[in-house]
Amino acid sequence: MNEKLDSYLHKGRRRQLINYLREKVGVRDAGVLEAMNTVPRHLFIESVFDEWAYEDRAFPILSDQTISHPSTVAEQTSLLELSPKEKVLEIGTGCGYQTAILVAMGADVYTIERIKNLYEFSITLLKQLNYQPKKSIYGDGFLGDNSESPFDKIIVTCGASEIPKILFDQLKIGGIIVIPMGKGKEQKLYRFRKLDAKQYTKEEFGTYAFVPMLGNIT
């Protein structure tokens, strides 16, 4: 990558972030930490925020959306228990940062974004950075991608009131879906593991703030 785009200063700040995630947040997944140490987060946000890109902060992006805290990205990704070449459906591409982390970890990523300018922004940037997913979809995340199902893992990067049945149906038996759920400004982060067509296990992992999951495309 061009040194002007990803300088030694940026790389040093990324290493500091990784140390923070490991020592203060408690992230233990080596694959997640390695990917987050590789992907240049500052390129996914406006340049005015460049100095703070590797602090554990969320930032505004296009269309009144946000890029999540690095600790949130690390937690959600760790909960997927991801192995290389697994087929992952991502609901909510956003600016593409979470997508890039999944691709950097060797996943085959299928990602959906409902906001047209974010969809176009992420496609362009991910191609430039060589973190292209297997498939990028401009559409309704509630519908998933039945043409490519079933998926090993599903990650939802927006807050839902409940787990969408269509997404659960597109998950393999034994697969995992990580999703924030709640009706207010804050949600609980959950991990569901599919046991069969109707049954699952459910684990809760703290309180987070995500933008709401919406069905219409814009």
Domain of residue 55, CATH code: 3.40.50.150
10 Å CB burial of residue 49 (0-12, 13-18, 19+) is middle
pLDDT digit string (tens) for 120-133?
999 999 999 999 99
The answer to whether residue 2 scores a pLDDT higher than 70 is no
**For residue 95, what are the domain limits?**
8-208
Q: Count of domains in the chain?
A: 1
Q: Specify if 3 maps to a domain.
A: no
185-200: per-residue pLDDT in tens? 889 999 999 999 999 9
Domain for residue 64, yes or no? yes
Residue 60 inside a domain? The answer is yes
The 8-class DSSP code of residue 170 comes to T
Residue 3 has pLDDT above 90, yes or no: no
Query: Does some domain include residue 71?
Result: yes
Is 168 a domain residue?
Answer: yes
Half-sphere exposure of 137 (CA within 13 A, CB side): 20
4 three-state secondary structure? coil
Q: pLDDT digit string (tens) for 6-32?
A: 999 999 999 999 999 999 999 999 999
* 114 belongs to a structural domain: yes
Whether the per-residue pLDDT at 113 is higher than 70: the answer is: yes
Average pLDDT over residues 74-100: 97
Residues with a catalytic annotation lie at 68
